Amino acid sequence: MRRKLAAGNWKMNGTQASLAELGKLATAHAAPAVDILICPPATLITAACAHAPIAIGAQDCHMASAGAHTGDIAAAQLKDAGATAVILGHSERRDAHEEHSDLVRAKARAAQAEGLMAIVCMGESLAQREAQNTLDIIGGQLAGSIPDSSTGENLVVAYEPIWAIGTGLVPSLDQISEVHGFIRARLERRFGAGVGRSVRLLYGGSVKPDNAADIFTVPDVDGALVGGASLTAADFSPIIKALEAV
């Protein structure tokens, strides 16, 4: 049985003062029925680890283990700081930093080699959705971004339609179901039923307290990757509770 996962991506938000929100979250969910993960800026990872039972992740890593890569962070360094997971291939990285699927796969392989869980993101643009190319785009990103070393323990796949991230727009439940079912089938075909069925699939894109419960009823939605609503306990806690109620 796949354990549900509520993951928060703080993006480039947060300072030391923001860790008070993690304290509130940890108090409200001292014995959670689901896994809770927060991925703050790298500057906060070590300090954030004090707030058990919340797991702490990162937002990116380099594919190399060390070297002359100014400004980058290796997976081993993230693990050393206390991270247990890392988000890779987010559309904001694919777009603003021109990250292609081959690079995402190399980063995911590096993360998995260090014992980190790789949360690999994928999603289509509005133009691709309107052209009915969604499954082709997702299929290509799945094939190109997921390492052969993936298992249910070291891989999470997050479907985040680009047009829904931070816009308030949300796909219909049928659209989410179609994509998540497609991802599940592709994973089973590639890795076999055992591994394919054990990988958790998250939905991300304008997930909020008022729509989370409906989204979590969709088959093969094992949780959510939440952006802005994960920045405060007041917004993120109801999402966690909605996931626990499934």
Beta-ladder partners of 231: none
CA–CA gap between residue 58 and residue 137 (Å, rounded) = 25
CA–CA gap between residue 243 and residue 75 (Å, rounded) = 29
Q: Which two tokens stand for residue 212?
A: 């989370």
> Is there a catalytic annotation at residue 90?
yes
CA–CA gap between residue 229 and residue 237 (Å, rounded) = 9
From 21, 99, 114, 160, the catalytic residue: 160
> Is there a catalytic annotation at residue 100?
no
Residue 133 CA: distances (Å) to CA of 130, 143, 221: 8, 16, 21
From 90, 114, 124, 180, the catalytic residue: 90
Consecutive H or E run containing 116 = none
Catalytic annotation, residues: 90, 160
